[in-house]
Amino acid sequence: MEKINKVIIKEEKIDIKESKRREIISKVIIYAFIVFFAIIVLIPFYWMILTSLKTLDQIESEIPPTLWVSFKNMMFVNYLNALEAAPYLRYMLNTVIVATISTVGTIFTTIFAAFAFARLNFKGRDIIFMVLISTMMIPGEMFVITNYITVSRLGWYSPFSQTFGQALLALTLPFMTSIFYIFFLRQAFKQIPDELYLASKVDGTSDFKYLWRIMVPIAKPTIITITILNAMGTWSAYIWPNLVTKEVEYRLVTNGLRNAYLDLTGRVAYNEQMAAAMIVTFPLLVVFLLLKKYIMRGVSRSGIKG
Amino acid sequence: MLEKQSNLKAWLYLLPAMALLLVFTFYPLFNAFYLAFLRNYSYLNRTAEGYTLFGNFIDVVQDVNFKTAMKNTSIIVFVSVPISVMVALFISVALNSIKKLQGMFQTIFFLPYVTNAIAIGMAFAFIFHQDYGLFNMFLGIFGIDPVNWVGLGASWSTAMFALLVYTVWGGLAFKIMVFLAGLQNIDKQYYDAARVDSTPKWRVFSRITVPLLSPMIAYITITSFIGAFKAYRTIIGMFGPTLRPPGTLSKDSLITIVGLVYDSLSQADAVGKISQAAAASIILFLITLSFTGVQMMISKKRIHY
């Protein structure tokens, strides 16, 4: 009897050893798989940075390309040249102005509309809200065509003359509100308990005051998310600014990327091109890493990324 | 209801958003249909020669680029989406099963989500550069001669391959985010039961994880189809506004349906072109609408396990 027991214990020990070994092997495979794809995800960023820090001669003479640049050989001057190749500082200023105007506008229109849908009771509320939601699946190109005509008819864009103010109107006004953000903020407002509202009514607080003193502070994380997403959207805008600006100086940062980057002898300056791409990408990465929490909140609710 | 109706006040709160939506969303929606049925419309002179039911749609279909655009869009949609959904699923399951460094890897995989399609497209174009690119260098390890992927006179198929690689790469982040959220919601009980029975890992994946995640996989696949039908910025990023490698013919263009819309819109001053743009956008709308219909049917049925 004892003998048999010992044998069983021994077998179990082998079994545990064996399963531990398997566990380790599968861990190694899983980590190798993840690391492999993590590298693939990072390659374009690394390639961009690496190329932006090489000299053009280095790029053209090293075949195959080297994968490292030592710090003392880093050509930070490429960034200065890239900034000069296109009116980048002007683009950044334009982008900041456009992002500020459209974001502030969006925040206000969204807060008011979301409040009406979440808190007030009016005729046709649910039907109107349904109609708004259903337009979210319509491709933006359908709106762009008529908006282009509208902006022209309003005199904000013409191929012959345009002031900066007119360009600003064309760039911001169509983006002063967003159905998705209204929907998003309404959800946040809805979670605020009714008791707060009723208590404030008893105290004689007006709706307007209640909205700004109670609801907006409670929904602050959502409002921050909207601000970030909207500002990042302006930073990456390309098609619309291209359509409705006459002067090159009225455009936004992303438009500058499609500039011709040539060196003095007419060669394509890949290093400056990549430096420009990096100038546009870097702020987005920094914002993402610092404010990941807020950005992810928006992601979980958005359906399609355009 | 807690409160009495307050119609006037509600409309005051709605006014700013509604006024903007009326001008820049609802009116354009109806106007797109109106424009698409006008014959030889000129928006500069505000003149048209009556109405036409299919005239502008026929113009779109007979456009030299139409067939190319349909072909390209279909390939982008039906090749890149299944691949990126599958890769994203594997990555998410792997990520979900580790503890150490999970946060760091998550951040890395989410990075492409926020980046600028034009800037990254340029980086990819340079990765696929014939002489100075990383991809040919990698192929060189296996003794493969450098390929002209996207350079001067590059063929349609190599350019499309490069574009698909970029599209899959760009689509991963969002899908991984959604899948990870879904995986974290799966009840741990199922996995504990599988462990007691010492079920092999791969069976756990195919019999527990995938079936429980199936509604989410269906949702992601269809929304990604819809998103991929609107591909345009990625192509501008890689190939510039001409939408094709330099020195190639228009039949080798990487133009998409959205590309057709903007192509017509860029010639808006010419008679009838804006109607053609509207017709193309309606075609795009109908395609995405049909996919939305499919999605609604699926989510109603709830095809779990």
Is the model's pLDDT at A222 over the cut of 90?
Answer: yes
Instruction: Reduce the secondary structure of B184-239 to three states and give it as a string.
Output: HCCCHHHHHHHHHCCCCHHHHHHHHHHHHHHHHHHHHHHHHHHHHHCCCHHHHHHH
Q: Nearest chain A Cα to B169, which residue?
A: A41
The pLDDT score that the predictor gives to residue A306 is 31
B268–A141 C-beta distance less than 8 A: no
Residue B200 lies in a domain: yes
What sign for the dihedral angle of Cα A89, A90, A95, A101? positive
Nearest to A115 by CA among A178, A205, A190, A181: A190
Give chain B's domain count. 1
B28–A143 C-beta distance less than 8 A: yes
Whichever domain contains B127, its CATH number is: 1.10.3720.10
Q: Has this prediction a pTM greater than 0.95?
A: no
Would you place residue A137 in the very low, low, confident or very high pLDDT band (cuts 50, 70, 90)? confident
In this structure, what are the phi and psi dihedrals at residue B197, rounded to the nearest 5 degrees?
-80, 5
The pLDDT score that the predictor gives to residue A267 is 82
Below-70 pLDDT ranges, chain B: 1-4, 301-305
Interface test with A, best of B31, B122, B176, B267 (most A CBs within 10 A): B122
User: A193-202 — which CB contacts under 8 Å span 24+ positions?
Assistant: A194/B2, A197/A119, A197/B2, A198/B2
Q: Mean of the pLDDT values across residues A51-62?
A: 90
Per-residue burial over A155-166, b = 16 or more CB atoms within 10 Å of its CB, e = otherwise: ebbeeeebeeeb
User: Domain of B272?
Assistant: 49-301
Which homologous superfamily does the CATH classification assign to the domain defined by A86-259?
A: MetI-like (1.10.3720.10)
Considering chain A, what percentage of its residues have pLDDT values greater than 70? 93
Contacts of residue A19 in chain B, CB cutoff 8 Å? Answer: 198
Would you place residue A1 in the very low, low, confident or very high pLDDT band (cuts 50, 70, 90)? low
CA distance A205 to A199: 9
Q: Tell which wins on pLDDT, A159 or A9.
A: A159
User: Does the ipTM exceed 0.95?
Assistant: no
CA distance B191 to chain A (A): 15
Q: Nearest chain A Cα to B165, which residue?
A: A40
A64–B140 C-beta distance less than 8 A: yes
Which among A123, A143, A285 is the nearest to B7, CB-wise? Answer: A123
Is the model's pLDDT at A14 over the cut of 80?
Answer: no
CA distance B157 to chain A (A): 22
The owner of tokens 């509202």 is A197
Is the model's pLDDT at A301 over the cut of 70?
Answer: no
What the block records as the tokens of B196 is 């007691």
B1–A257 C-beta distance less than 8 A: no
The pLDDT score that the predictor gives to residue A297 is 80
* Pair A168, A251: CB distance under 8 Å: no
What residues contact B253, with CB distance under 8 A and at least 6 apart? B65, B68, B72, B242, B243, B244, B259
Which among A109, A145, A235 is the nearest to B277, CB-wise? Answer: A145
B27–A146 C-beta distance less than 8 A: yes
CA distance B178 to chain A (A): 7
* Pair B252, B190: CB distance under 8 Å: no
Is the model's pLDDT at A303 over the cut of 80?
Answer: no
The owner of tokens 């053609």 is B276
CA distance A86 to chain B (A): 15
CA distance A124 to chain B (A): 9
What the block records as the tokens of A127 is 């039907």
Contacts of residue A43 in chain B, CB cutoff 8 Å? Answer: 127, 134
Under 8 Å CB pairs connecting chains A and B tally to 269
Contacts of residue A108 in chain B, CB cutoff 8 Å? Answer: 16
The pLDDT score that the predictor gives to residue B305 is 45
- Beta carbons within 10 angstroms of residue A241's beta carbon: 22
What residues contact A201, with CB distance under 8 A and at least 6 apart? none
Residue B221 lies in a domain: yes
The pLDDT score that the predictor gives to residue A11 is 63
Is the model's pLDDT at A266 over the cut of 80?
Answer: no
Would you place residue A13 in the very low, low, confident or very high pLDDT band (cuts 50, 70, 90)? low
In this structure, what are the phi and psi dihedrals at residue B47, rounded to the nearest 5 degrees?
-120, 150
A137–B292 C-beta distance less than 8 A: yes
A110–B17 C-beta distance less than 8 A: yes
Residue B256 lies in a domain: yes
What sign for the dihedral angle of Cα A13, A15, A19, A22? positive
What the block records as the tokens of B284 is 């795009």
Considering chain A, what percentage of its residues have pLDDT values greater than 90? 66
Contacts of residue B14 in chain A, CB cutoff 8 Å? Answer: 112-113, 116
B174–A299 C-beta distance less than 8 A: yes
Is the model's pLDDT at A290 over the cut of 60?
Answer: yes
The pLDDT score that the predictor gives to residue B81 is 96
CA distance A48 to B282: 38
Domain residue spans of chain A: 2-73, 86-259
- Residue B161 in 3-state DSSP? helix
| Cis preceding linkage at A64, omega within 30 | yes
Q: Write the pLDDT tens digit of every residue in A191-203.
A: 999 899 999 989 8
Which among A143, A194, A277 is the nearest to B29, CB-wise? Answer: A143
The pLDDT score that the predictor gives to residue A300 is 62
Residue B69 lies in a domain: yes
Contacts of residue B173 in chain A, CB cutoff 8 Å? Answer: 41
- Beta carbons within 10 angstroms of residue A210's beta carbon: 20
Is the model's pLDDT at A305 over the cut of 60?
Answer: no
B94–A274 C-beta distance less than 8 A: no
Q: What type of residue is A276?
A: A
Which among A26, A63, A138 is the nearest to B201, CB-wise? Answer: A26
Q: What type of residue is B208?
A: I
Q: Nearest chain A Cα to B31, which residue?
A: A146
Would you place residue A173 in the very low, low, confident or very high pLDDT band (cuts 50, 70, 90)? very high
